[in-house]
Amino acid sequence: MKSVGLLTAAFCIVALFSLLFPALQGALSIGLFFSLVGTIFDLINAMSWEFTGHIDNLTQDSEMMKDLTTFLALGRITGSIKKAKGPFAFENLELKNVTFKYPNATSSVLNGISFKIEAGKHYSFVGQNGSGKTTIIKLLTGLYGDYGGEILLNNVSLHDYPQDVINSAFSNVFQDFARYSSSVRENIRIGDIHTIDTKNDRELIDILKDINFSFQSMDKGLDTQLGKLQENGIDLPGGQWQKIAIARDIVNSASVRLLMNQLRH
């Protein structure tokens, strides 16, 4: 912005001086001189604002590109898209004296957590905001590898599993689940990209009925566009969006389902 300011000032001075001499020599009337100088100043001013705007956009875009390139460079993306061989036969999961600290944090979030969960049962983690429930879920789904203690999946350390095998064992609905600006059908089918083309509409509708999803205001059924990107897209109330996310979770054949919710009093 500083360089654009200097450049603008330089243009104005050049314009002023090149018109000043004809004006002094009488080739330009004083009135014409002032109106010309005024118009040229306005023009240069408008152009410099536009130019600054472009530079501003360019800077913002390049910052976004930095994030995107870092994200793409993580490499795990290809790992997680790879399909594990067959469904994962979950038996149990055990945390033994697990400790975890976020990088740059001063204190640990988890201090010596131990518990065991077994196939065929329901469990719930209940705790105050910030007590570490989501962190536990992220640890046991292999998103954070740098923990103390042991996490055993079917009695084998989580460190010994490739990420695609861990991914095939768990499916999850996070508190901040994704809301895709796309059709209801696509929003659900993306829950399992490996069977994305084989699930039929009947199956999807049955899942939605099972979880009491309300089809009100959905005159196009599964083709209804959600989100605000499309002109005919509708935005759902939070609870309805959450049901879409749950349906997305149900189409996934993973053996362990992790559902995260925020209780409001």
Ligand X SMILES: Nc1ncnc2c1ncn2[C@@H]1O[C@H](COP(=O)(O)OP(=O)(O)OP(=O)(O)O)[C@@H](O)[C@H]1O
Q: Which of 26, 75, 120, 130 binds ligand X (CB under 6 A)?
A: 130
| β-pairing verdict for 110-118 and 170-173 | unpaired
Binding partner of 253, given ligand X, Mg ion, none, CB within 5-8 angstroms per partner class? none
Bridge partner residues of 234 (DSSP): 226
Considering only 40, 109, 190, 218, the residue that binds ligand X (CB under 6 A) is: 109
Count CB neighbours of 143 within 10 A.
12
- Nearest residue (CB) to Mg ion, 28 versus 137: 137
Strands 170-173 and 156-157: unpaired
Q: Give the residue with the Cβ less far from ligand X, 134 or 255.
A: 134
| Contact indicator for 83, 168 with CB cutoff of 8 Å | yes
Rg over alpha carbons for the chain, rounded to the nearest Å, is 30
CB hemisphere CA count around 175 (13 angstroms): 10
Q: Minimum distance from CB of 260 to ligand X (Å)?
A: 7
Q: Which residues pair with 152 in a beta bridge?
A: 94, 157
Cβ atoms of 5 and 48 within 8 Å: the answer is yes
Distance CA 195, CA 149 (A): 36
Bridge partner residues of 211 (DSSP): none
Q: Examine residue 62 and tell whether it contacts ligand X (CB under 6 A).
A: no
How far apart are alpha carbons 158 and 150 in whole angstroms?
Answer: 8
Helix (H, G, I), strand (E, B) or coil at 148: strand
- Residue 172 in the binding site for ligand X (CB under 6 A): no
* Among ligand X, Mg ion, none, partner that 80 touches (CB below 5 to 8 angstroms by kind): none
Scanning 29-37, 131-139, 206-214, 233-241 for contacts with ligand X by CB under 6 A, the matching segment is 131-139
Q: Which of 135, 167, 168, 225 binds ligand X (CB under 6 A)?
A: 135
Binds 86, which of ligand X, Mg ion, none (CB < 5 to 8 A, cut-off by type)?
none
Residue 105 near ligand X by CB under 6 A: yes
Q: Which residues of this protein are in contact with Mg ion, per CB under 5 A?
A: 134
- Tokens representing 224 are 């209804």
Among ligand X, Mg ion, none, what does residue 109 contact (CB within 5–8 Å per kind)? Answer: ligand X
Q: Which stretch binds ligand X (CB under 6 A): 5-13, 15-23, 132-140, 204-212?
A: 132-140
By C-beta, is 176 or 219 nearer to Mg ion? 176
Which of 12, 52, 133, 234 is in the footprint of ligand X by CB under 6 A? 133
Q: Interface residues with ligand X (CB under 6 A)?
A: 102, 105, 109, 127, 129-135, 175
